[in-house]
Amino acid sequence: MLSKAEGLRLYRTLLLVRLAEEAIRVYYHQNEMKTPVHLGIGQEAIPVGVCHCLPKNARTLGTYRNHALYLALTQETDRFFAELFGKETGLGRGKAGSMHLCAPEHGLLATSAVVGTTIPLAVGVALAQAYRRDSTPVAVFFGDGAVEEGVFWESLNFACLRRLNILFVCEDNGLAIHSAPSDRRGFSSLVQSVESFRCKAISADGSDLPAVIQATRQLRAEMAHHTQPGFLHLTYFRFLEHVGINEDFAAGYRHRPSSEEWIARDPVARFTTHLLALGCLQDELDEIKTGVEAQVDESLNRARAANYPAAEALYEDLLI
């Protein structure tokens, strides 16, 4: 059970993610953001809830659908928007783009455009922690499409063999671009397959923030008790197209949800109802929203006013 104060803090983070992405949807048309964007509208409660249950110094890694993860960990939007606009004040000096956000000072070590690639990196980080006898946990976020990559199963096997302190977080929207699991998999149950390894697995509704928090806490307790990795399977609905800012219900591979389904799958709407039932006042929620809107606006303005990197910056920060 969440306290009111904890609930309001979580609401602010959830809303920060949602409003930052809604702002991207407004500005993207103006063609100033020179980066593909994989928006996470519908996904927000997963990174927000999981990160809420991790210690501040946890190491995290993720995918190109990483805005919620970055914002949940950092709460900052200046360097975030500047990166999307390709400006020198961006978190990757304008050279990383949306798909490669990171914030090592907040534990976010890497995110990547290449499906599955941060999974073995995360296992490597967990192995390094084990060598150092450092109990700081590692969490890696990936989509349901990544589990069809061989590297997922190799990484899972090695992590289980070495009993590493790593949380695998599968953000399952039932889609790899447009294709459904039944067209991609030669196994029927992901969770049962993972449980046949030495790994604790829990499924929950990833649109429901309190359910995400409860599942994460329970799994972390079981991981500690059995000295085993954990697999968190969290389902959610991707409201927008795979990449870009638009809805794509007319594309024909899925139907538009009814208004009841829409609300049931919207983590922000669901958590708002939860908070009101908990005794929070609509005025308190509105005040938080006003503050988040101001943060997003100010960051957008600063990002748009900032300079592009100089041409020579192209040759800096390279590992060759």
Ligand X SMILES: Cc1ncc(C[n+]2csc(CCOP(=O)(O)OP(=O)(O)O)c2C)c(N)n1
Q: Which residues make up the interface to ligand X (CB under 6 A)? A: 65, 113-116, 143-146, 173, 175-177, 242
For residue 202, the partner it binds in ligand X, Mg ion, none, with Cβ less than 5 to 8 A by kind, is none
For residue 146, the partner it binds in Mg ion, ligand X, none, with Cβ less than 5 to 8 A by kind, is ligand X
Q: Which is nearer to ligand X, 62 or 90 (CB)?
A: 62
For residue 90, the partner it binds in Mg ion, ligand X, none, with Cβ less than 5 to 8 A by kind, is none
Residue number, nearest CB to ligand X = 143
Q: Which is nearer to ligand X, 28 or 218 (CB)?
A: 28
Give the nearest distance from C-beta 172 to ligand X in angstroms.
7
**CA 161 vs CA 141, 142, 198: distances in Å:** 20, 21, 8
User: Which residues are at the interface with Mg ion (CB under 5 A)?
Assistant: 143-145, 173, 175
Q: Which is nearer to ligand X, 117 or 136 (CB)?
A: 117
DSSP 229: -
Q: Which is nearer to ligand X, 54 or 146 (CB)?
A: 146
Give the nearest distance from C-beta 108 to ligand X in angstroms.
17
Distance CA 285, CA 87 (A): 33
Distance CA 187, CA 192 (A): 10
For residue 272, the partner it binds in Mg ion, ligand X, none, with Cβ less than 5 to 8 A by kind, is none
Distance CA 249, CA 59 (A): 36
Q: Are 61 and 222 in contact (CB under 8 A)?
A: no
Distance CA 139, CA 176 (A): 21
Give the nearest distance from C-beta 242 to ligand X in angstroms.
6
Other Cβ atoms less than 10 A from the Cβ of 56: the count is: 9
Residue number, nearest CB to Mg ion = 143
Q: Which is nearer to Mg ion, 172 or 266 (CB)?
A: 172
Distance CA 315, CA 320 (A): 10
For residue 114, the partner it binds in ligand X, Mg ion, none, with Cβ less than 5 to 8 A by kind, is ligand X
Phi/psi-derived region of residue 60, left when phi > 0, alpha when psi is between -120 and 50, beta in every other case: beta
For 299, the token pair is 């960051």
Q: Are 6 and 232 in contact (CB under 8 A)?
A: no
Give the nearest distance from C-beta 145 to ligand X in angstroms.
3
Other Cβ atoms less than 10 A from the Cβ of 288: the count is: 19
Give the nearest distance from C-beta 146 to Mg ion in angstroms.
8
In terms of Cβ atoms closer than 10 Å to its own Cβ (0-12, 13-18, 19+), residue 257 is middle
For residue 100, the partner it binds in Mg ion, ligand X, none, with Cβ less than 5 to 8 A by kind, is none
Q: Which is nearer to Mg ion, 92 or 244 (CB)?
A: 244
Rg (alpha carbons) of the chain, rounded to whole number? 19
Q: Which is nearer to ligand X, 102 or 115 (CB)?
A: 115
For residue 77, the partner it binds in ligand X, Mg ion, none, with Cβ less than 5 to 8 A by kind, is none
Distance CA 121, CA 234 (A): 21
Give the nearest distance from C-beta 251 to ligand X in angstroms.
15
Give the nearest distance from C-beta 36 to ligand X in angstroms.
10
